[in-house]
Structure 1
């Protein structure tokens, strides 16, 4: 099979199409012929040498795919060859075939194009787990989604709105902010020209955000704490503005706030299976109702993987960039 592999790391790391052995399924695993692979910022971190694949996972990038089942291993009961599916991976999605545990696979939702479905699994699992399981978001609460125009942000805005929350989000520029409002944000703040904390306070009548879903990391820490409501929950899922920041404990204590940080890739298989099962039960119906949709900025062939990474790194993409074998 062909796969997009990494040679070198850091600024000199290059992506190229290589020929590799086809995978074979082990017990409770399936082989999927890939229709498309989602590109995530985690892939850029892996390429730079900051986010290595977990033990036993392929060492080339790709955390989510869509495609068709071609083979199943011993003990597989949920899937059969020909099923159209999406999958949450530990790595290796930039390939013509992937091997994955059956518990990390979901059916392609009714009404969703097979290629575009690759924009869903990582983003939906991340958004659901961090908004609801970690952030304990409730209908009627205010939620601030930092980076509402990104691959995860576009899903998080839609999901939070579908769950009945009042959604605030940030985006770079008036056009992207307007598109976030079209996705369901009650208020979209242009972070290039507005004071985000002041805008959150004004929109919520001084209440603040009950939940902040943050992709900024260290650079956004101070403002995110200032934006919290009393009893607010800050959930950090990204490090776009650095790994380190200064936490004002006095401000956190005054708001009786909490800060949580999570990743999905390195979790035990049982936890990932739980997240996938929750998504199937609670989010897939919203997708099939059209209330949560994949947002795809570009579809590029494997040979243009470098361009795909540049699009994601630049922040120009609105939604997901997909790689097509």
Structure 2
């Protein structure tokens, strides 16, 4: 096994606050257990949970790194004693429990996947957090089936662009809401069947028109707040609504009559606190059903911009403008 350095550069959160609190610092390499691997990071995805953690609103689970960063791509640098699938030098991407904004990160071996053929490390680093999230929430929890209609709020985000690609790949009609004509056009170019600029008027009327009045079968919502009631209004009979974030608030007053009369299911999840076994099951599903689409070129993550690791604060500042279309990635 190649010798490893004793320390690494990582991006730490000096104190809860704005993007400027992200600072490079020297850290020892993270220790890893028997079922874990150590990855030499080539690129790390930037996600909303990282922003929330930096602001002090999303503390890491017990035992997880205090560093931000939930997805990486790179090569295996070391393996735990019980790891059999991976070997040093393998090119991989992985979901991490935190710590991705660094030169090295540890993660469970079962949360690790091969970099799909034809993808570089930057595109591979944009896969784990978003593809795990979309697969689990749209397909496993929302039960989206071929021939159904999926409504995605925030269609131009990393999650949104992934949901468009996967929804279309598995035979669904996809409608999105987004905050500008440019974003709507980008979603249509990715394959969305309809894109509604929510800043130009009431998006509910656009959804009704796009679905011929029937409504979407599955709604992926990361907005919350007033959207919750409107989701109930537009959803199809037996519709499934999946909440994954609450950018406009998690507390609303709501009349549940629609839930009863339409026989709606409203569910939701967060990815990071789930068990090792639950995330491993998602990884197995992705490798079997989605990785072939990436290898064939049928799906490809959309990258908005990249920043060197040391400029993570600039990446966060960009994300907070919500002007990006697709993913933001750090290069190491």
Category of TM-score, reference length = shorter chain: over 0.9
- 1:31–1:71: 8 Å Cα contact kept in structure 2? yes
- 1:218–1:246: 8 Å Cα contact kept in structure 2? no
Does residue 147 of structure 2 align to residue 150 of structure 1?
Answer: no
What is the rounded CA distance, in whole Å, between the counterparts of 1:245 and 1:276 in structure 2? 34
What is the rounded CA distance, in whole Å, between the counterparts of 1:210 and 1:244 in structure 2? 24
What is the rounded CA distance, in whole Å, between the counterparts of 2:193 and 2:127 in structure 1? 23
Report SS of the residue matched to 1:24.
Answer: coil
State the shift of 1:302 in Å.
1.7
Q: Deviations over 1:107-142 (max 9, x none)?
A: 000111122210011100100111111000000101
- Aligned with 1:288 (options 295, 304, 317): 295
| Residue matched to 1:31 | 38
State the shift of 1:11 in Å.
4.6
- 1:104–1:272: 8 Å Cα contact kept in structure 2? yes
- 1:69–1:84: 8 Å Cα contact kept in structure 2? yes
What is the rounded CA distance, in whole Å, between the counterparts of 1:28 and 1:221 in structure 2? 40
Report SS of the residue matched to 2:304.
Answer: strand
| Residue matched to 2:212 | 205
- Aligned with 1:43 (options 50, 68, 73): 50
Please say which of residues 122-131 and 237-246 is displaced more in the overlay: 237-246
Report SS of the residue matched to 1:85.
Answer: strand
Please say which of residues 207-216 and 114-123 is displaced more in the overlay: 114-123
What is the rounded CA distance, in whole Å, between the counterparts of 1:166 and 1:12 in structure 2? 37
- Aligned with 2:249 (options 228, 232, 242): 242
The alpha-carbon distance between structure 1 residues 95 and 288, as it changes in their structure 2 partners (threshold 3 A), is same
* Aligned residue runs from structure 1 range 271-310, under 5 A: 271-310=278-317
The alpha-carbon distance between structure 1 residues 119 and 264, as it changes in their structure 2 partners (threshold 3 A), is same
- 1:67–1:115: 8 Å Cα contact kept in structure 2? no
What is the rounded CA distance, in whole Å, between the counterparts of 1:11 and 1:285 in structure 2? 39
Does residue 99 of structure 2 align to residue 92 of structure 1?
Answer: yes
Q: Which runs of 5+ in 2 are unaligned?
A: 1-7
| Residue matched to 1:215 | 222
Number of equivalences: 325
Structure 1 vs Structure 2 CA RMSD = 1.2
- 2:14–2:21: 8 Å Cα contact kept in structure 1? yes
Q: Deviations over 1:17-46 (max 9, x none)?
A: 010001233101111100111110001111
What is the rounded CA distance, in whole Å, between the counterparts of 2:325 and 2:264 in structure 1? 31
- Aligned with 2:109 (options 102, 108, 113): 102
State the shift of 1:218 in Å.
2.1
* Aligned residue runs from structure 1 range 127-138, under 5 A: 127-138=134-145
- 2:19–2:317: 8 Å Cα contact kept in structure 1? no
- 1:297–1:321: 8 Å Cα contact kept in structure 2? yes
Please say which of residues 58-67 and 283-292 is displaced more in the overlay: 283-292
- 1:31–1:97: 8 Å Cα contact kept in structure 2? yes
Report SS of the residue matched to 1:67.
Answer: strand
What is the rounded CA distance, in whole Å, between the counterparts of 2:330 and 2:121 in structure 1? 13
What is the rounded CA distance, in whole Å, between the counterparts of 1:303 and 1:31 in structure 2? 21
Q: Deviations over 1:78-105 (max 9, x none)?
A: 1011111000011110000001110000
| Residue matched to 1:187 | 194
| Residue matched to 1:126 | 133
Please say which of residues 126-135 and 7-16 is displaced more in the overlay: 7-16
Please say which of residues 8-17 and 180-189 is displaced more in the overlay: 8-17
State the shift of 1:13 in Å.
7.0
- Aligned with 1:224 (options 220, 224, 231): 231
Q: Which runs of 4+ in 1 moved over 3 A?
A: 10-13
| Residue matched to 1:57 | 64
Report SS of the residue matched to 2:105.
Answer: strand
State the shift of 1:293 in Å.
0.9
TM-score normalised to structure 1 length:
0.98
| Residue matched to 1:139 | 146
